[in-house]
Structure 1
């Protein structure tokens, strides 16, 4: 996972554009992934952890603070200085050229409570018509499971054949909810709880999304707050490097799989 970590943390991401309407999004030659989720599911905190920074995406305890489609350019290579003058279009074109060997991470407004109906319309336009989109990552609160709005968007992605991955966020609340440094016994209990939760989600997807058919769904378990061992070899937040690797694979930017030992984020 070293390449994945280096790719996302070597350079600070650049906010390349923020737009409310799909038709105003600039075109680019770079692959894109998008992050979707209910309001206050922890999407902004997840993105900050993904980037290895604390203040790239705005976080708030109040839901609905992300109101625009925000595009972050990510690359392990340094970018040259932005041009000092020129029209907005020329500056934007220069920004695309400066993003060498990178990808765009699109942070979408939250759906559900405290969101606006027109946000949902623009989100649907993006995931259906954006040619650069490689995969959608849908955040689901691990404590509360799938809500009606989650099922609605997952059904849409499934029926349209849009590649997508479910991210169970705040997974630390299941793995070790009451202890910063759980014992092996408590950690194993948490692992069992995570497996039960993912199996329940798979069963619900089969019933409510896949029409009773068997299908495969990628589920990543991630925490933006805690690791398995704050002072040991697993100091990265739970599942964050697996998420980084999944993005690289979706965008075709992975170099090799030699340093990937296991995609199971729970087993140390």
Structure 2
């Protein structure tokens, strides 16, 4: 049907229908002859940096601004407390606190991300090194959310700090890296921890966004999937895709970078579903972050909040059941405690 051959009154009426205008914008670029309503072709809107554009959520609901503010405050209200170091799984303390583990290939940015999570980019709690495989032990850091530590024992031994850590906090375990800079014996102890630690709520596996999935990443992630270990993928160093230069990107460049990031997330999911070999298309959430750069300017003119870090903080709290209430306040702890026995 030739649209121009329709009576003017009918054309004018049809042009006010949104579906028809959208169709015409994709199939034609002409303006109707003698029509009082000008034809304006629609253009796709540019993507902006937001929680849903940055991350992929298929299981959990995207966090709200209130929840992100709570997660930010929880992690930066007090410095992290060093609790323990263990080279072997059997020497882990039998604590009653929920734990999350962070691991990834050597030089995937794990230590930098942990320091950003703790809000300690100037004072480094997790050691950052250019040499792969610097982290050689499993190190526990307590994030209390501002709760007060218990009274120190009379002896004052540092190794029992985990006993004074307050209920209502979370223990973040910094794991040794895997890949070219790691050692085989460390990997054995790491797998013992990931598969047998009762306090472990979720494992966050970092994948370098600039280089994508490597063979060791696929091997670890498919193993965790087959063994039923709760885990989540975190694409680190996404600034390499979003704004590789020192100057913040313009709207169009940022939108293009976000589109590339979405394609990378889709590729990661399809690759893992294919490599798992179980014939199932499993849903998964993929978080994206940068521990180095930010697009938000703080009150003092400094770029404070790193890209995607608050979303990772919220994922940690959600995994441990430490979410805020509807008003963004700390939830009151119930009376149901689970006694964690010594694992021998």
TM-score by length of 1: 0.90
Of the structure 1 ranges 127-136 and 220-229, higher mean CA displacement relative to structure 2 is found in: 220-229
Q: How does 1:13-24 map to 2 (within 5 A)?
A: 13-24=80-91
Larger Rg: 2
For residues 180 and 99 of structure 1, do their structure 2 counterparts lie closer, same or farther at Cα, with a shift above 3 Å needed?
farther
1:87 Cα offset (Å) = 6.2
1:2 Cα offset (Å) = 1.5
Give the corresponding residue for 2:13: none
Q: Which structure 2 segments of 5+ residues have no match? A: 1-67, 329-344
The reply to whether residue 247 of structure 1 matches residue 316 of structure 2 is yes
1:3 Cα offset (Å) = 1.2
The reply to whether residue 97 of structure 1 matches residue 167 of structure 2 is no
1:153 Cα offset (Å) = 1.0
Native 8 Å contact 2:150 2:164 kept in 1: no
For residues 36 and 98 of structure 1, do their structure 2 counterparts lie closer, same or farther at Cα, with a shift above 3 Å needed?
closer
Native 8 Å contact 2:152 2:164 kept in 1: no
Native 8 Å contact 2:97 2:167 kept in 1: no
Of the structure 1 ranges 229-238 and 7-16, higher mean CA displacement relative to structure 2 is found in: 229-238
1:258 Cα offset (Å) = 5.7
1:222 Cα offset (Å) = 0.6
Give the corresponding residue for 1:26: 93
For residues 210 and 11 of structure 1, do their structure 2 counterparts lie closer, same or farther at Cα, with a shift above 3 Å needed?
farther
CA offsets per residue over residues 173-199 of structure 1, 9 Å max, x none?
A: 111112431111111111111111111
Give the corresponding residue for 1:67: 136
Matches of 1:104 and 1:140 in 2, distance apart? 22
Matches of 1:3 and 1:62 in 2, distance apart? 35
Native 8 Å contact 1:11 1:78 kept in 2: no
Give the corresponding residue for 2:152: 82
- Matched position secondary structure for 2:232: strand
Matches of 1:146 and 1:257 in 2, distance apart? 37
The reply to whether residue 37 of structure 1 matches residue 104 of structure 2 is yes
CA offsets per residue over residues 136-159 of structure 1, 9 Å max, x none?
A: 000000011111111111111101
1:235 Cα offset (Å) = 4.2
Q: Which structure 1 segments of 5+ residues have no match? A: 260-268
CA offsets per residue over residues 96-131 of structure 1, 9 Å max, x none?
A: 233231010000000010111011100110011000
Give the corresponding residue for 2:283: 216
- Matched position secondary structure for 1:255: coil
For residues 180 and 74 of structure 1, do their structure 2 counterparts lie closer, same or farther at Cα, with a shift above 3 Å needed?
same
How many positions carry a matched residue from both structures?
A: 256
Give the corresponding residue for 1:180: 247
CA offsets per residue over residues 73-105 of structure 1, 9 Å max, x none?
A: 1111132563351667xx51x632332310100
Matches of 1:233 and 1:136 in 2, distance apart? 32
Native 8 Å contact 1:32 1:132 kept in 2: yes
For residues 225 and 81 of structure 1, do their structure 2 counterparts lie closer, same or farther at Cα, with a shift above 3 Å needed?
farther
Native 8 Å contact 1:38 1:150 kept in 2: yes
Q: Could you tell me which of 325, 328, 339 is aligned with 1:256? A: 325
- Matched position secondary structure for 2:116: helix
Native 8 Å contact 1:181 1:229 kept in 2: no
The reply to whether residue 141 of structure 1 matches residue 208 of structure 2 is yes
- Matched position secondary structure for 1:29: coil
